Chains A and B, each alone.
Chain A
């Protein structure tokens, strides 16, 4: 079945460091891919998405490119801030799913120190 694997956390970085959170997936066909962010005690917010191969999603300085050849959707940011500290979830919505059901990775906690 469809699945998503993220790099394990927690990831601790200094402010202005470069961020990469790896995400790979297994799915039939061409799923849609998403990154969600969860701040402490809150629900999830959509950060960015890509719906087809080679699409690049971007938002708030974060980017991720849909790589069909490596089945990856790695999240990157050139310069992180303390306010980026949160848990990041990679997710996919497969083409054969029921009504847009999401498959989540396990989440990666990011902690940015001043």
Chain B
């Protein structure tokens, strides 16, 4: 149980393109999803917390207009990198937490999306 599917796993595109990444909880309802960015050999950096039916909460220093987050249902959140540039190239990982259970439930992670902007 507690499977999170992230798609696509890898994207290569030209500078200026907008890229959408999907994160789905397959067997549970996720009232809260999280989006992280990970640089090589480094830990995960939380970008934003996505709450179903409301606006995402962004961490300090993360551009809201650059990284658009939508959490329209209890099983799907999307991250859109708008007008991507080479400096946006990174490994993006989503996670989801089962909101129907107690507050000690762990986050379950997707397999990540490797984004490469040429």
**Residues of B contacting A42 in the complex (Cβ-Cβ under 8 angstroms):** 111-112
**Residues of A contacting B41 in the complex (Cβ-Cβ under 8 angstroms):** 109
- Is A89 a contact of B51 with CB atoms below 8 Å? no
- Is A43 a contact of B93 with CB atoms below 8 Å? yes
- Is B43 a contact of A107 with CB atoms below 8 Å? yes
Interface size on B, residues (CB 8 A): 27
Instruction: Judge whether B32 is part of the interface by a CB distance below 8 angstroms.
Output: yes
- Is A100 a contact of B6 with CB atoms below 8 Å? no
Q: Which of B44-91 contact A (CB under 8 A)?
A: 44, 46, 49, 51, 57
Main secondary structure of the interface of B (DSSP, over half): strand
Instruction: Judge whether B105 is part of the interface by a CB distance below 8 angstroms.
Output: yes
Which candidate, A17-25, A45-53, A67-75, is the interface stretch facing chain B? A45-53
- Is B111 a contact of A46 with CB atoms below 8 Å? no
**Residues of B contacting A44 in the complex (Cβ-Cβ under 8 angstroms):** 44, 93, 95, 109
Kindly state the separation between the CA atoms of A106 and B38 in the bound complex, as whole angstroms. 11
Interface contacts beyond A32-B104, A36-B109, A107-B42: sample of 15 additional A-B pairs, CB < 8 Å, sorted by A: A43-B95, A43-B110, A43-B112, A44-B44, A44-B109, A46-B107, A46-B108, A46-B109, A89-B43, A89-B44, A99-B51, A100-B97, A100-B105, A101-B46, A102-B34
The 5 closest A-B pairs by CB, nearest first: A43-B109, A44-B109, A99-B32, A43-B111, A43-B112
